[in-house]
Every structure is written in structure tokens, then in C-alpha cells.
């Protein structure tokens, strides 16, 4: 063979090897590149905690500091979250600045989420049973079904939170609207899809209609001035955050069970063992906390003593996975039994945030209803999966559900799991490329729209219009991505300091 022919064969072999090995290097490289792009667009870092000055032992002290209280104003990072959680990010509880408006909204959320353990568990079990029977029916002749656990869980929580808000069963068309909305939000947060604001607006219209008809049996805060504000509050808190968080939490929990057959068997054999299931949930949320980072903007100087402090206006990014990985023996190991020896109260374990600083309002409800739904699932199926398991879980947790009374033979199960593993690795290649492209697009678009800065240029922290607000300028050109929110222009001057690269992943990534 001529030297040029040999060179061509070498080049072809190298290209082939690069393609074939791409599942092992491309996704990781693209995630790194995406983080760099986010950093470039958003500007310099905030302060990620724990760090050299504030170690894990002082993490909670800083998080609980009264001056670590700002939520949206003054962080470039907030533009991104407002963009993803639109429409109505300015009235989402998560984004409200402290004050009477926040207090009223937080009180209302707690009231809507209230209920006895028995009522809440029964409602969750009922919704799960209905959805499972519809999506993965049992009965003669039924075989294993391949599902994505997050997709399977979405309608369960759509129905459940519809019942909590409206005190009546969820009609199929309302469930579709809620699931479409929640999926759109979480997919855009994870950069696997762009936002579809028309889809989200359809749910807003449904809520507006029900509010106008007097069909919401709760007193909504007078501080939410317009019907649209009230519709956006319900949409953001119950049909976006609640549905997304519960579906993600259940996807993690069920995937863990699918990959730890001994634990799954134990729980299925002893469905009444609350302690064991509690340990498994604690360990799952320790290893896979739903929040990667929660941020606060300091509204006054913080002095922790020993020369450690942060000036007012600092963006503090509390890194949950890093904190959860400290203070444990073999923190990377999934070991539910460790919770027999530890108390969640004393450990570095904050899956629902910290009590002193805006904890999750569903910290009591969530574990309760997750137990009920887990029992419904385990009562019907055995779960099996060979896919990767990361905190951001962008693959939506592919899993094989096998009817408990019709087990698969071992060779068939092994073959199915081998095929699932291969598919997962290759999907990861395509998805990480897509996430890179869409993530870049959305970060740039959010930066262009600057929703937070535009809002606070025209409103005080309690949502009241400022008397000397600049007159509204022409909004940025409309795209399918542009939400119908704040119209005031951003103030002049340099953009605010942006987030650290990890911050955009606070819900998922």
C-alpha cells in the first residue's frame, strides 16, 4: 500500500475510534464547555459555599444569617431563573423579596398544602393508582413496560396538586395543561428543550378562568394585586415547582430502587416499614439533592468573625451536593443504613433547605406523599434499570416496570438491561450536544431580556410601581421564547455581577 493510503486508513481508524468512544468523553466535555459559556455570558463568580473561609461546619450559620435574605434583586443570576420560571416570575414565592408580600404568599402556600397525614397520603395513593392503571395497566397478557419515571410521575402530581388547589378531581384536559407546563419548565431548566411560552400561557388562561368563576376555594393574598398575579402565583408554586420537584424526587427514588434490588425487595416485602423507607429517602436526597445550588443576595454586610465576612450585595451560592458530601463516612456510597446511626437534624443534610431561611414549604408533605406513591408502585411492579444516575437526571430515568406477578426470566431481563445501557450512553451523546446548543441560546436570550433588572427598575421590592420609574421603552423583539412580563427598561450602567458557573444548575442542569 502507498504511504498516502496508509495515512488515510490511520485517519479513518482514528475517526472511527473517536466516534465509537464518544459516549465516554463527549458528554463530559460538552458539560464543561457549557459551564464555560454560562460563565462567559453571566460574568464573574459569586461566592460558592462551602469554601476555604466558610467550611461545612459554618455553612448553616452563614445560610441562616439574617442578612442572607435577598432573593432576586441585584444578582444577574436571577435573570436566568426568572426566564426559566416565567410567566409571572415576579410573583413566584421563590423569587419574592422578604417583606409583607412574601409573608402573605408564604402563609397562603402553607395553608393550601395543609392536611392530615392520612388525607394527604390517601390522596397521593389514589392519584398514583389512577395514573399507573392508565399508563402501565396490569391484567392478563401484560408484560414489562419501558417508561421514563419522571414522565410517569408528572400526571400523578398534576392530579394531586390540582386536588389541593381546587378541592376537586383533576379533569383530563386540565391535567394535560399542567403536565405540558411543568414539562416545559423542567426541560428548559435542564436545557433539553427551549421554552414554549404559548404552552405555559394556556395554563394561565385556565387558571384565570377558574379564578374569575370563583372556583378557587382559598383566600389568595390581597398583596397579589391582579387576577393575573394570582393565576401566576398558583401556576408557579403548585403547577410548576410542586409538580416538577415531586416528579424529579420520585424519579430519583424509584431509579435508586431499580438499581438496588436488595433494598427494593426489602421495601416490597415490608410495605409498612416507615423507618426503612425513610432511610432510603434520606439517603437518596442526600446523594441527589434536587437543588444543586440555592442563592441569596446579602442585604447588609455579614461579619462571621475571624476576618471572615461578605459585603452587602454579595451573591452567596449554597452548594447542596458539596455540603451533603461532608461529615459522612464514604459519602459517595449509597448506604440507607447510615440513617439508623445518624440523625438527619444533626447531619449535613438539608434536602428541603434550612429552617431559618425560607425552607421548602412542602418539607412535611413531600416525604409523606412520596411514601404513599412508592408503595403504590412497588405493590404493582418490580423496577429494573441500568442507566446512569446523576443529580440532574436529564434522561428522565428510563426504567423497566415488570408486573410483580409476571416476572421476566433472568436472560430476558439481562438482555433488556444491556440494551438499555447502550441506548442510554448513545442518547447521552446527542442530548449533551443539544443541551450545549440550547443552553447557550437561552442564557444569551435571558441576558438580553434581563427580566429582573427590568422589573426592579419599575417596582419596589414589594411589587409596588415606583413613582419615578423610567417610562416603558420598546420591549425586546418578540420570539416564541419571550415571556409577556416586565416592560420597564433596564437601568443604565454595567450589568450586575453574575453567578458562578455552577449557579445556573440550581434546580437541575
Contact set with ligand HEM (CB under 6 A): 93-94, 106, 109, 113, 237-238, 241-242, 245-246, 249, 285, 290-291, 294, 351-353, 358-362, 366
Write the secondary structure of 313-327 as one string of H (helix), E (strand) and C (coil).
CCEEEEEHHHHHCCC
C-alpha cell at 343: 440523625
Q: How far is the CB of 106 from ligand HEM (least distance, A)?
A: 5
- CB nearer ligand HEM, residue 197 or residue 317: 317
3-state secondary structure 49-76: ECCCCCCHHHHHHHHCCCCCCECCCCCH
8 Å CB contact between 498 and 43: yes
- Closer to ligand HEM at the Cβ: 26 or 285? 285
To ligand HEM, the closest distance from the beta carbon of 94 in angstroms equals 4
For ligand HEM, which is the closer residue by CB, 230 or 431? Answer: 230
User: How many CB atoms lie under 10 A from the CB of residue 474?
Assistant: 7
Minimum Å distance from CB 28 to ligand HEM?
26
Let me know: does 190 contact 509? Beta carbons within 8 Å: yes
- Report the C-alpha gap between 459 and 467 in whole angstroms: 9
Which residue number, 249 or 438, has a Cβ lying nearer to ligand HEM? 249
Nearer to ligand HEM by Cβ, of 338 and 358: the residue is 358
Judged by CB, which is closer to ligand HEM: 101, or 200? 101
Distances (CA, A) of 344 to 186, 281, 328, 339, 351: 28, 11, 12, 7, 10
Nearer to ligand HEM, 97 or 428 (CB): 97
Pick from 345, 368, 365: nearest CA to 355: 345
Shortest Å distance, C-beta 15 to ligand HEM:
44
Phi then psi dihedrals of residue 266, to 5 deg: -60, -45
Residue whose C-alpha is closest to residue 165's, from 97, 226, 241, 94? 241
For the CB of residue 455, give the shortest distance to ligand HEM in the complex, in Å. Answer: 17
Residue with Cβ nearer ligand HEM (249 or 488)? 249
Which phi and psi angles does 25 have, rounded to 5°?
Answer: -125, -30
Distance CA 143, CA 139 (A): 9
Nearer to ligand HEM, 361 or 398 (CB): 361
Least separation in angstroms between CB 118 and ligand HEM: 18
Q: Are strands 47-49 and 315-319 parallel, antiparallel or unpaired?
A: parallel
> Would you say 185 or 249 has its CB closer to ligand HEM?
249
Range list of β-strands (E), 449-492: none
Cell numbers of 28, please? 463530559
CA end-to-end distance (rounded Å), the chain: 50
Q: Which three cell numbers stand for residue 156?
A: 400523578
d(Cα 194, Cα 8) in Å, to the nearest integer?
40
- The full DSSP string for 353-415 is --TTS---TTTTHHHHHHHHHHHHHHHHEEEE--S---SS-TT--EEEEEETTSPPPHHHHHH
* Minimum CB distance to ligand HEM, residue 20 (Å): 38
Whole-number minimum distance, CB 443 to ligand HEM, in Å?
21
Amino acid at each position: 500500500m502507498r504511504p498516502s493510503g496508509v495515512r488515510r486508513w490511520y485517519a479513518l481508524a482514528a475517526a472511527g475510534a473517536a466516534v465509537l468512544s464518544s459516549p465516554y468523553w463527549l458528554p463530559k466535555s460538552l458539560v464543561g464547555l457549557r459551564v464555560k459559556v454560562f460563565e462567559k455570558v453571566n460574568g464573574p463568580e459569586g461566592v460558592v459555599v462551602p469554601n476555604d473561609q466558610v467550611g461545612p461546619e459554618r455553612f448553616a450559620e452563614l445560610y441562616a444569617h439574617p442578612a442572607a435574605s435577598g432573593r432576586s434583586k441585584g444578582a444577574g443570576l436571577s435573570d436566568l431563573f426568572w426566564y426559566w420560571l416565567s410567566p409571572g416570575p415576579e410573583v413566584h414565592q421563590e423569587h419574592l423579596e422578604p417583606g409583607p408580600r412574601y409573608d402573605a404568599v408564604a402563609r397562603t402556600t402553607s395553608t393550601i398544602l395543609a392536611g392530615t397525614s392520612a388525607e394527604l397520603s390517601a390522596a397521593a395513593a389514589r392519584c398514583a393508582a389512577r395514573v399507573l392503571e392508565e399508563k402501565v395497566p396490569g391484567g392478563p397478557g401484560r408484560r414489562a413496560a419501558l417508561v421514563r419515571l419522571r414522565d410517569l410521575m408528572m400526571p400523578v402530581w398534576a392530579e394531586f396538586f390540582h386536588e389541593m388547589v381546587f378541592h376537586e378531581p383533576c379533569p383530563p384536559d386540565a391535567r394535560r395543561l399542567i403536565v405540558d407546563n411543568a414539562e416545559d419548565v423542567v426541560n428548559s431548566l435542564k436545557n433539553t428543550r427551549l421554552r414554549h411560552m404559548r404552552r405555559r400561557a394556556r395554563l394561565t388562561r385556565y387558571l384565570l378562568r377558574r379564578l374569575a368563576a370563583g372556583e378557587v376555594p382559598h383566600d389568595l393574598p390581597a398583596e397579589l394585586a391582579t387576577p393575573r398575579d394570582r393565576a401566576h402565583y398558583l401556576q408557579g408554586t403548585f403547577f410548576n415547582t410542586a409538580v416538577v420537584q415531586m416528579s424529579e424526587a420520585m424519579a430519583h427514588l424509584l431509579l435508586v430502587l431499580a438499581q438496588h434490588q436488595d433494598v427494593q425487595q426489602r421495601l416490597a416485602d415490608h410495605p409498612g416499614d416507615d423507618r426503612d423507607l425513610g432511610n432510603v429517602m434520606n439517603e437518596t436526597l442526600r446523594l441527589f439533592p434536587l437543588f444543586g445550588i440555592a442563592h441569596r443576595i446579602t442585604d447588609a454586610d455579614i461579619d462571621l468573625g475571624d476576618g471572615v465576612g461578605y459585603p452587602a450585595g454579595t451573591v452567596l451560592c449554597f452548594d447542596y451536593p458539596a455540603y451533603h458530601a461532608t461529615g459522612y463516612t464514604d459519602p459517595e456510597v449509597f448506604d440507607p443504613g447510615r440513617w439508623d446511626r445518624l440523625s438527619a437534624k444533626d447531619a449535613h443534610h438539608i434536602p428541603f433547605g434550612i429552617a431559618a431561611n425560607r425552607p421548602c414549604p412542602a418539607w412535611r408533605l413531600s416525604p409523606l406523599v412520596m411514601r404513599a406513591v412508592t408503595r403504590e408502585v412497588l405493590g404493582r411492579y418490580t423496577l429494573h434499570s441500568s442507566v446512569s444516575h446523576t443529580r440532574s437526571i436529564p434522561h428522565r430515568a428510563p426504567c423497566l416496570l415488570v408486573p410483580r406477578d409476571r416476572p421476566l426470566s433472568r436472560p430476558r431481563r439481562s438482555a433488556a438491561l444491556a440494551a438499555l445501557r447502550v441506548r442510554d450512553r448513545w442518547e447521552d451523546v446527542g442530548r449533551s450536544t443539544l443541551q450545549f446548543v440550547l443552553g447557550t441560546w437561552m442564557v444569551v436570550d435571558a441576558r438580553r431580556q434581563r427580566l429582573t433588572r427590568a422589573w426592579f427598575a419599575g417596582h419596589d421590592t414589594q411589587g409596588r410601581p415606583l413613582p419615578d420609574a423610567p417610562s416603558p421603552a420598546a420591549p425586546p423583539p418578540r420570539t416564541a421564547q419571550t415571556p409577556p412580563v416586565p416592560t420597564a427598561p433596564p437601568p443604565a450602567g454595567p450589568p450586575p455581577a453574575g453567578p458562578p458557573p455552577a449557579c445556573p444548575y440550581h434546580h437541575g442542569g
